[in-house]
Amino acid sequence: MMPTQAKYKRPAYRIGAFTLVESVISMVIVGVMLVAALNTVGASRLNQYKTWTRAQGRLLAESLLAEIFTQPYSDPNGAPLFGVEVGEDADTRDAFDDVDDYHTWTSSPPTEKTGTEMASWGRWRRSVTVEWVDPANPTLVQGTESMAKRVTVKVHCGGMPVATLVAIKTDH
Ligand SMILES: [Ca+2]
Ligand SMILES: [Ca+2]
């Protein structure tokens, strides 16, 4: 009598279930998609922060530049000097009464003109440079009185530059 050949029987673990390899591949795919999604969210938040920082920096620069431009071109009292005049305190803007008094002014955190520190702005710095420039070409710095002063206000946050504004004040 001839021996009968054993009938093929499908393994039970294949019926209605994932194999171990399929499960691992699925987890890898989900993991990669999750990382990509988190990276996208992180990049979006970073862009929002940078936009906010630039906007705040510009506001800080504009407010100080506006204050400087309410001052006359040169000191109204006595012999004007480039920088603070005799008797004016260079540590606070309270006594500043002309544009070039602000030359080399810097403060962190930013302060009001009275010297009051702006609360919650500890990482921010404002600084000012004033230079005589050629009225016909304000990119050319002059070593002597030229009847035009270029005022540059820079704002840093955490040591990084975030805003720079430049304006020219002339002696009418
Ligand atoms: Ca002055
Ligand atoms: Ca002055």
pLDDT tens digits along 68-117: 999 999 999 978 999 999 989 888 899 999 999 999 999 999 999 998 99
pTM of the prediction? Answer: 0.78
Taking alpha carbons only, the member of 76, 78, 105 closest to residue 90 is 105
**Domain assignment present for 10:** no
**Domain assignment present for 2:** no
Instruction: Give me the mean pLDDT over the 5-33 stretch.
Output: 77
**Domain assignment present for 35:** no
CA of 124 to the centre of ligand 2 (A): 26
**Domain assignment present for 4:** no
Q: Which amino acid is at 28?
A: V
Which domain, by its residues, includes 53?
41-170
Contact, 165 vs 153, CB < 8 A? yes
Domain count, the chain: 1
CA of 16 to the centre of ligand 1 (A): 87
DSSP 167: E
CA of 111 to the centre of ligand 2 (A): 20
Contact, 108 vs 124, CB < 8 A? yes
CA of 55 to the centre of ligand 2 (A): 31
Phi, psi for 120 (deg, rounded to 5):
65, 20
Taking alpha carbons only, the member of 73, 40, 36 closest to residue 167 is 73
